[in-house]
Amino acid sequence: MTYDQFKESIALSTPPEGISVLLKALWYDAKGDWEAAHDIAQSSEGTRSYDRLHAYLHRVEGDTWNAGYWYRRAGSETFNGSLKEEWEELARYFSEKI
């Protein structure tokens, strides 16, 4: 699924079939279901992409200390842009690479 197709899927009432679990987490986040997204991030702790998603979700929550921990676990720099920009960067990455 392309990034544009994924972004359009946010209008659906359920996540599209066949998308990656990481995209599904971002889909839930976009729909305001932080818990469902966070459950996915926690499901594979220690995996770089999941830890990176986890960092973003703690930023969404407003827990910058915990976000910093997950950025470090993911081997990633702290994202300095807006939450929207970070969501888009992750969605593009997960659409293209995973």
Q: Report how many domains make up the chain.
A: 1
Look up residue 43 and give its two tokens: 């499901």
13 found inside a domain: no
62 found inside a domain: yes
Model pLDDT, residue 98? 58
Query: What's the whole-model pTM score?
Result: 0.94
Q: Are the beta carbons of 20 and 44 closer than 8 angstroms?
A: no
64 found inside a domain: yes
7 found inside a domain: no
95 found inside a domain: no
59 found inside a domain: yes
Look up residue 7 and give its two tokens: 């972004």
Q: 4-31: per-residue pLDDT in tens?
A: 999 999 999 999 999 999 999 999 999 9
48: domain range? 19-85
93 found inside a domain: no
Any idea what the CATH number is for the domain that residue 36 is in? 1.25.40
